[in-house]
Amino acid sequence: MLPIDQIQLNFNPGSLMLLNVILGLVMFGVALDMRLTDFRHVLVTPKPVIIGIVAQFVFLPALTWVMTMIFRPAPSIALGMMLVAACPGGNISNFITHYSRGNTALSVSMTAISTAVAIFMTPFNLTFWGSMNPDTDRLLTEIALDPLEMLLSVFLLLGVPLILGLLISHKATGVARKLRKPMRIFSMAVFGLFVLGALAANWTHFLNYVGYVVLYVLAQNAIALSTGYFSAFAAGLRETDRRAVAVEVGIQNSGLGLTLIFTFFHGLGGMALIAAWWGIWHIISGMALGTFWSRRPPEEHT
């Protein structure tokens, strides 16, 4: 069996183009749920959103780097962890926040802001923290990653669908209202089917190597959820806000991560398996935590 750093998942150019389109549809569907008021809300009550963004784009990448330096996973696994930590919140965070009896309005605002901020911060964080670890720095050098090229790619994947969705939501509210639910269901169903198909095409690799990434994903996800919650707690935010920040930081946009991995890293095994397993595990952990919180009204824990 080859070392995990030497395997590449089966993924052809046509599949990559399809994944780009699907991710664009997912982000367009997310943007239809947003309003310009979600951005204005930050100006009125900026503290909770700022705490969440700092936890998302500063604390989590830094703690992930610390993890990779302490446990020294294979370079491709370490770089995959850094890429996941550099991604914005995932598109199911709003639903899980609502299920958790958290502040859904804050969650929506954080998703809007973090998606916009990620256009610049995702390439920056991956390049910066990746260069701080000698093992991943060598990998970045070998691949010759161009941060500006990645920035353009992230803008096309996140920025364009976000702008189009916001324009329709703002200028054609009736159309946006009719599109929201079917677009959300359709895009998530297609994305789910695509992931299952990709998993089937790489089933042997998955069975042989998933054991290498399970514990790292579990630990990183636990750190992400804890970082969000305790950052909000330390800042004196109320319980509903703490839950929203915890979920936003703990649910990552692994679909963006996978797209970038296949675009810039040629489906590098450890990276792809980290992002793929994250996409499964954060739903499980998020729903488990949501179930726990849904049975405990925030007032009892404020």
DSSP string, 96-159: HHHHTT--HHHHHHHHHHHHHHHHHHHHHHHHHHHHHSHHHHHHHHHHT--HHHHHHHHIIIII
In 10 A of CB 188, how many CB atoms?
16
Beta bridge partners of 89: 252
CA distance 20 to 25: 9
Percent of the chain at pLDDT above 70?
95
Q: Which residue has the higher pLDDT, 85 or 264?
A: 85
261 falls within a domain: yes
Rounded average pLDDT over 9-36: 76
Q: Is residue 288 part of a domain?
A: yes
In a domain? residue 5: no
**Does position 300 have pLDDT exceeding 60, yes or no?**
no
* Mean local confidence (pLDDT), 163-187: 83
- Report whether pLDDT(87) > 80: yes
Q: For residue 81, which amino acid is it?
A: M
SS3 9: coil
% of the chain beyond a pLDDT of 90: 39
Range of the domain at 35: 17-301
Residue 82 is assigned to a structural domain of this protein? yes
Backbone angles phi and psi of 105, in degrees to 5: -60, -40
Euclidean distance between CA atoms 201 and 198, whole angstroms = 5
For residue 272, is pLDDT > 80?
yes
The three-class DSSP label of residue 20 is helix
Q: Is residue 121 included in any domain, yes or no?
A: yes
**pLDDT above 60: residue 198:** yes
Residue 295 to residues 62, 99, 230, 241, 288, Cα–Cα distance (Å) = 33, 10, 20, 17, 11
Stretch 163-171: mean pLDDT, rounded?
Answer: 85
| Span between the terminal Cα atoms of the chain, in Å | 52
What is the signed CA dihedral for 95, 100, 101, 105, rounded to 10 degrees?
A: -40
Query: Residue 28: its pLDDT value, please?
Result: 83
The mean pLDDT of the chain is 86
Residue 61 lies in a domain: yes
pLDDT digits (tens, 9 = 90+) for 88-103: 987 788 888 888 989 8
Flag whether 53 is in a domain: yes
CATH number for 46: 1.20.1530.20
Q: How many domains does the chain have?
A: 1
* The amino acid at 261: I
pLDDT given for residue 25 in this prediction: 82
User: Would you say 246 and 229 are in contact if contact means Cβ atoms under 8 Å apart?
Assistant: yes
Give the pLDDT confidence score for residue 302 in this predicted structure. 47
Strands (E), 93-223: none
The answer as to whether 36 is a domain residue is: yes
Q: In whole angstroms, give the CA distance from residue 286 to residue 239.
A: 17
Residue 181 reports pLDDT greater than 50: yes
In this predicted model, what pLDDT tens digit does every residue of 109-165 receive, in sequence order?
888 888 889 989 999 999 999 999 999 999 888 777 777 888 888 888 878 888 888
- DSSP-derived 3-state class of residue 89: strand
Residue 108 has pLDDT above 90, yes or no: no
Mean pLDDT of the 184-209 span:
79
Which DSSP category does 235 fall into?
A: T
Tell me the C-alpha distance between 223 and 169, whole Å.
35
Predicted pLDDT at 153: 82
Between 197 and 247, the more confident residue is 247
Which pLDDT score, from 0 to 100, does residue 73 have? 95
Contact 124, 150 (CB under 8 A): no
- Residue partners of 215: CB distance under 8 A and separation at least 6: none
Per-residue pLDDT of 24-55, as tens digits, reads 887 787 778 777 766 676 677 889 999 999 99
3-state secondary structure of 35: coil
Structure tokens at 270: 């450890």
